[in-house]
Amino acid sequence: MKRRFDPLILLWIVLAAALTFLVVNPLLRLIITSLEAADTGAWTLANYVSAYGRPRYLQALYNSLMLGGAVTVLCLVFALPIAWAVSRTDMPGKGAIRLLVLGAFITPPYLGAIGWILLAGPNAGWLNRAWMGLTGATEGLFDIYSFAGLTFIIAIYSFPYLFIFTSSALDVVSSEMEDAANILGAGTIRTMARITLPMVLPAIIGGAIVTFLETIALFGSPALIAIPARFNVVTTQLLQFFSPPVRTEVAAAFAIPLLLITVLLFALQRRLISRKGFVAVTGKGGERRLIELGPWRWVMLGYAFLVLSMSVLLPYAALSQAALSRAWGRGWRLDNLTLHNFSYLLFEHATAGRSVLNSFVYAFSAACLAIFLSLAIAYIVARRLLPFAGVLGFLAMAPFVVPGIVLAIAFYAAYAPPPLALYGTGLILILAFTTRFLPIGFANASAAIRGINPEMEEAVRILGGGRLLAVRRVLAPLMKRSMIGAWLLVFIPATRELSTAMFLYGPNTRTMSVMLMDLSEEGNFENLAALGFMLLAATIVIVGVGSRLVGGDFMMRRDRS
Amino acid sequence: MPHAITRRGLGAMMGAVVAVPVIGRTAAAADTTALEAAARKEGSLTWYTAHTDGETAEQVGRAFTARYPGITVNVIRTTAQVAYQRLLQDIKNNSAQCDVFSSTDPGHDEALKARKLLAHYVPLAASVVSEPFRGVDPDGFYYATSAGLVLITYNTSKLRAEDVPKNWPDLLLPKYKDQVSVGHPAFSGYVGTWVLAMRKLYGWEYFEKLEKNKPQIGRSVNDTVTMLNSGERLVAAGPSGTTLSSADKGNPLALVYPTDGAVLLVSPSAIMANAPHPNAARLFMEFMLGEEHAKISVEKRNESLRPEVKPLAGAKPLEEAKVIRLSVAEISKGIPEVIEQWRDTFGT
């Protein structure tokens, strides 16, 4: 079959080497650590016994799985209707809705959780006080310190993953099949449920898996909510293994089953997807028309607005009180208003400006690296170009279930000491972020590639063009928009990444997320809230400028209707 | 691995030998000129610290450089657990990064000392600090360089004057149901030590009774400041420093020095046996025990180590308050115990 040396082999080797460096080596160290006795280094299973020998620890794992499931369901409820309405219908105000989704996505879940503590704290939360004032009730309506509260707080900041996955897939589906369904008598809802959404099922499943895994690996919000709510999840439990007596090896053992869960999820995904064809973009031109919703478009807008006010408008309103106060404990008062928190952070604070810059530089580099890698891997996997391509795919997804703090430790152990001596450099953060978010890039890239019929590339090749030409002139233009989306999907969470950075930053490489955490632990709420607003503004500007530069696509694009 | 430890043990012993001439000179004249010259050749030092917030740590670093031009301080400020975990990784990987290690948990220093990873050094200034801060480590490997109190804190605009608690058992009164805020002993050495002190004074029943009042459990001891400011809770077992800093901005917070005793926490600093900049590290230890550092501490609302530097308004000098200080041995042994008890009682 092979007539000459295929340059793709070389690419495979390069990719395999990159994945070995970024994923295999750190994870291998993790596995080895989990099987070693801490002081002697002898092989043992004792760590697994310690990690899973107590009901309390097992309960934490169970809680995490339940939390992941509940958040994923809630995210589907939030994301799918909004994505459908924005991509396929004539709902008004799409620009504003996209901007608000971006706002939700930029917000570090940690910051949002603080906003919601102010809104729904059982005694003094704004919403609860309003409720008690209106009804004369003695108890508030909401208690954010609960399993339901935590699920809600995570979901309102995680649903953008599913929104972006789904809407970028919906954007390239043509209207023909929907038209066919309409002609055969199906109504709008039925067409959406039976035709449109199933066509983008790979994207939905990819997004759901990312949401689930992101949820069980999250540290910040569970630390804020779960501990007062008196339950543990995997990440808060992991942190306890790092309290004295520190048991890294038990922590490693505790984290390993999460890897098995990823394997399972991907087997499941494969089963769900393989039975059907999901090729939506073909070489034959298709037409896209917006569905007219009539008065229902206002209902859809109302729903989108409700969800987004919960994730953006309300919490930032609560945080603005602290950001604009001299002393936020005194409440809204004229003599308490100040802009000093902002000017202090911008001009007086020794490290604030630097950490803002660091965050963006590292996130930018990590996003570029991760997208390049995941595109190449996704293409090889989807077109089955080389043997063992599936292995690359699995490796690209594996890092996601490793909680950030464990990944950080694996990285620290692997690359901080000589010969590489990356400790305290920006590079180790960039590499760790790349690894951490590679799965997002990969899931998105492979969903996008799966949706494109190979016939167009085959046409190029029949006409004498090489594969690289086909990729450059056909695939790249078709995928441009979803790749910008994927780039942002890595860039944005990297700017807000906390659990990895917490362990890897050095004297000159502190990131904004670490600083937010520091300010919170110092009880310095006024500056914390102000920094949150600066983060929001800076990211919106950067994403806006970036999107304009590459053609006004994705989040910031104008409403076309 | 065993080889590495042996080598480092040797390093520690050599460190001790090298330190002797310096101690000898103490008797003659309390002067750091020779140390300064040696430190200047090294040019910098790396300080892993959990003692203060990031800004204050940077400020201390800058003040040191201003006093000793040409010697810069790389400040790595994290929580004590992260700092310690990082140090253990450095040790495991055989890469010497840290010169001076400042945890809030003397247990860390005890563990490091037992593994012969700390350098022996007796700072010249060790004998002139206030009494409660002397002899924290009788063996002379680590020294108190920062201190704070856990005491009763409250929201002054929401709690009526007659309702302000006076001592620790007051927090158990039914009128504070759903109104108490605390941190978590597994996440904060301050909270752990406070829990230990309460157990010593009143037995574990104290916490079984406290649970009936459904306290809000955060992580850091500073989480209580946030809870009081938001009005979510009215009274707390809180820290002196952060609470006063927040009150200085105008927030409605104040301290009660409990009649049965405020819990004193001394945070130690030590020089690593394999410190890449041993002389700069020693000079930095001298600086941290000195008057200038005490002034920065007081400004930042931490306790003053030096008798001649008095606290600002809202805080009492330690001589005027009843203070509980637990020994390092009690803390090292007791904290893991109370963490387990805590989880059994509070379920988190």
B138 and B274 in a common domain: yes
Strand locations in B108-249, DSSP E?
142-155, 180-182, 216-217, 235-239
A429 and A494 in a common domain: yes
B338 and B220 in a common domain: yes
Cα–Cα dist B104/A149, whole Å: 33
pLDDT at A152: 96
B125 and B69 in a common domain: yes
B126 and B9 in a common domain: yes
B137 and B36 in a common domain: yes
In 3D space, the residue among B93, B111, B119 whose CA is nearest the CA of residue B18 turns out to be B119
Count other C-beta atoms under 10 Å from residue A264's C-beta. 10
Question: Is residue B46 less than 8 Å (CB to CB) from chain A?
Answer: yes
**Position B28 pLDDT exceeds 50:** no
CA A433 to chain centre: 12
CA A399 to chain centre: 13
Look at residue A433 and tell me if it is in a domain. Answer: yes
Amino acid making up residue B1: M
pTM of the model: 0.79
A167 and A31 in a common domain: no
Whether the Cβ atoms of residue B278 and residue B45 lie closer than 8 Å to each other? no
Look at residue B48 and tell me if it is in a domain. Answer: yes
Look at residue B212 and tell me if it is in a domain. Answer: yes
Look at residue A252 and tell me if it is in a domain. Answer: yes
Number of domains in chain B: 2
A121 and A12 in a common domain: no
A301 and A373 in a common domain: no
Chain A environment of B245 (Cβ under 8 Å): 523-524
pLDDT at A274: 62
A69 and A139 in a common domain: yes
Look at residue A28 and tell me if it is in a domain. Answer: yes
A220 and A181 in a common domain: yes
Give A 31-60 residues with CB within 8 A of chain B: 41, 56
Contact criterion met (CB < 8 Å) for A417 and B178 = no
B190 and B330 in a common domain: yes
Asked which of A265, A287, A312 is the last residue of a domain, the reply is A312
Q: Which residues pair with B118 in a beta bridge?
A: B272
Look at residue A561 and tell me if it is in a domain. Answer: no
Exposure on the CB side of residue A113, measured as CA atoms within 13 A: 26
Domain of residue B198: give its range. 148-264+322-346
Contact criterion met (CB < 8 Å) for A327 and B217 = no
Look at residue A221 and tell me if it is in a domain. Answer: yes
Give A 449-508 residues with CB within 8 A of chain B: 502-503, 506-507
CATH number for the domain harbouring residue A113: 1.10.3720.10
Contact criterion met (CB < 8 Å) for B184 and A227 = yes
Question: Is residue B232 less than 8 Å (CB to CB) from chain A?
Answer: yes
A233 and A360 in a common domain: no
Amino acid making up residue A287: E
B306 and B243 in a common domain: no
| Main-chain phi, psi angles of A162, to 5 degrees | -65, -40
A420 and A505 in a common domain: yes
| Main-chain phi, psi angles of A388, to 5 degrees | 60, 20
Look at residue A371 and tell me if it is in a domain. Answer: yes
Return all residues near B236 (Cβ < 8 A) that are at least 6 apart: B152, B153, B154, B180, B181, B182, B224, B225, B227, B228
Question: Is residue B223 less than 8 Å (CB to CB) from chain A?
Answer: yes
| Main-chain phi, psi angles of A122, to 5 degrees | -60, -35
Look at residue A344 and tell me if it is in a domain. Answer: no
pLDDT at B244: 94
B35 and B118 in a common domain: yes
A114 and A28 in a common domain: no
Burial of B314 by CB count in 10 Å (0-12 exposed, 13-18 middle, 19+ buried)?
middle
Number of domains in chain A: 2
Amino acid making up residue B63: A
Chain B environment of A327 (Cβ under 8 Å): 246, 249-252
Pairing verdict, β B180-182 and B235-239: parallel
Q: What is the mean pLDDT of residues A394-411?
A: 78
Whether the Cβ atoms of residue B167 and residue B321 lie closer than 8 Å to each other? no
Look at residue B317 and tell me if it is in a domain. Answer: no
Exposure on the CB side of residue A155, measured as CA atoms within 13 A: 21
B246 and B272 in a common domain: no
**Maximum CA extent, chain B:** 64
Look at residue B193 and tell me if it is in a domain. Answer: yes
Residue B78 in 3-state DSSP?
coil
User: pLDDT tens digit string along B232-290?
Assistant: 899 999 999 889 989 998 899 999 999 999 999 999 999 999 999 999 999 999 999 99
Q: Is B268 left (phi over 0), alpha (psi -120 to 50) or beta?
A: beta
End-to-end CA distance of chain A: 50
Whether the Cβ atoms of residue A433 and residue A514 lie closer than 8 Å to each other? no
Please give the residue that has the higher pLDDT: either A378 or A138: A378
User: Which range (A3-7, A168-172, B165-169, B328-332) has the least confidence?
Assistant: A3-7
User: Which range (A380-384, A497-501, B2-6) has the least confidence?
Assistant: B2-6
Cα–Cα dist A367/A345, whole Å: 27
A367 and A449 in a common domain: yes
Cα–Cα dist A159/B65, whole Å: 48
Question: Is residue B137 less than 8 Å (CB to CB) from chain A?
Answer: no
Cα–Cα dist A101/A156, whole Å: 10
User: pLDDT tens digit string along B111-169?
Assistant: 899 999 999 999 999 988 988 888 889 999 999 999 999 999 999 999 998 999 999 99
Domain of residue A391: give its range. 1-37+351-551
Helix spans in A451-475 (H): 455-462, 467-470
Tokens coding B330: 């009690």
Tokens coding B154: 């409250």
Tokens coding B174: 């039914």
CATH number for the domain harbouring residue B231: 3.40.190.10
A455 and A374 in a common domain: yes
* A504-to-A318, B48, B83, B86 alpha-carbon distances in Å: 32, 13, 11, 9
Pairing verdict, β B142-155 and B262-271: antiparallel
Range ranked top by mean pLDDT from A76-90, A316-330, A347-361, A460-474:
A76-90
B174 and B88 in a common domain: no
**Position A281 pLDDT exceeds 70:** no
pLDDT at B320: 86
Look at residue B242 and tell me if it is in a domain. Answer: yes
B166 and B78 in a common domain: no
Percentage of residues of chain B with pLDDT beyond 90:
58
User: pLDDT tens digit string along A233-273?
Assistant: 988 888 777 665 667 788 888 888 777 787 788 777 777 76
Helix spans in A39-195 (H): 46-52, 55-88, 94-106, 109-120, 126-135, 147-170, 176-183, 188-191
Please, which pLDDT band fits residue A286 given cuts at 50, 70 and 90? low
ipTM score for this prediction: 0.73
B157 and B214 in a common domain: yes
Exposure on the CB side of residue A75, measured as CA atoms within 13 A: 36
A449 and A376 in a common domain: yes
Look at residue A414 and tell me if it is in a domain. Answer: yes
Contact criterion met (CB < 8 Å) for B85 and A246 = yes
Cα–Cα dist A331/A333, whole Å: 6
Tokens 């459904």 map to which residue?
Answer: B214
Tokens coding A134: 């209106």
